[in-house]
Structure 1
Amino acid sequence: MQNELSIKFDFPEGILGFEEIKEFIIKDSAHKPFSIMQSINGEINFLVTSPFNFLETYFPNIEEKDWLDIQAENENEKVILCIINMHVKTYKEITANLKAPIILNKKN
């Protein structure tokens, strides 16, 4: 995701907990390796990153059906991101949601 431009993605069913928001853009952050996933209307922002930046042996439980649903036909089209949670009081505690990764098709 190293583009100067933002990349638009549609989530037809929304994201768990934010089902009413369907359209997001992903744009680079000044703080690598993180990116910003922002709703098109600008109301919601998520800090995201590839889990592979931190865990080389991460094996998410993503079924082939899920990749077919987003029409990802080969490994080059598949993107896996995790939402990052920064604890506001200290900003020293950072967690990543590895149980519910976001999957995207780079081509679509």
Structure 2
Amino acid sequence: MMLKTKYHGEVDINEAQILKFEGGIPGFVEEKEFAVLPLEENSPFLILQSAATPELAFVVTSPFLFFKDYEFDLDENTVEALRIEDAQQVQIMVILTVQDPFEKTTANLQAPIVVNEVTKQAKQVILNHPSYKTKHSIVQ
């Protein structure tokens, strides 16, 4: 499948790689399908690219690379919606707000993206954790 992207031009991806967001992403409820693409080779940063809207792409990363103590429990509705049967199926990503200079870049720890790697179902969840905000500096 050919996919027009914001950062990579046109790329050929396998449809089996498409993440399905049944309810969309908050603020983009009509956007139901995204591909995860590397930002660049050997980078910890990825691009969450809309399959429908080439201009819509988010820079994401694993929060555990920058926040070693980051943890939360998923509610039963999310576990059921994503058909999670084992914790090993789960990948967590957070959306970054990239700033110039890069040292000012922040991560949204309050609303991680949870992906079932087996079913490719995904959801951005909103946490009610007092320690997690929408803007955490990734440079400590």
- Confirm or deny a common fold (TM above 0.5): yes
After the TM superposition, which parts of structure 1 deviate over 4 Å for at least 4 consecutive aligned residues?
none
Tell me, what secondary structure is at the counterpart of 2:93? strand
In structure 2, the partner of 1:28 is: 38
Tell me, what secondary structure is at the counterpart of 1:76? helix
TM-score normalised to structure 1 length: 0.85
C-alpha contact 1:60 1:99 (8 A) present in aligned 2:
no
Q: Deviations over 1:51-81 (max 9, x none)?
A: 0111121013532331221011101111111
In structure 1, the partner of 2:84 is: 72
Question: Aligned equivalents of 1:92 and 1:55: distance in 2?
Answer: 15
C-alpha contact 1:60 1:98 (8 A) present in aligned 2:
no
Please report how far the alpha carbon of residue 10 of structure 1 lies from its aligned counterpart in structure 2 after TM superposition: 0.9
For 2:22, give the aligned amino acid: P
Matched, 1:93 2:104: yes
For 1:104, give the aligned amino acid: V
Give the alignment partner of residue 9 of structure 1, picking from 15, 19, 41.
19
Identity %: 34
How many pairs align? 103
Q: Deviations over 1:15-65 (max 9, x none)?
A: 011111111001122161111100002230000011011112101353233
Structure 1 residues 61 and 98: alpha-carbon distance in aligned structure 2, compared to 1, 3 A threshold? farther
Structure 1 residues 18 and 29: alpha-carbon distance in aligned structure 2, compared to 1, 3 A threshold? same
TM-score normalised to structure 2 length: 0.67
Question: Aligned equivalents of 1:20 and 1:58: distance in 2?
Answer: 29
Question: Aligned equivalents of 2:98 and 2:84: distance in 1?
Answer: 30
Which of 1 and 2 has greater Rg? 2
Alpha-carbon RMSD: 1.7
Point out where structure 2 has 5 or more consecutive residues left out of the alignment: 1-12, 120-140
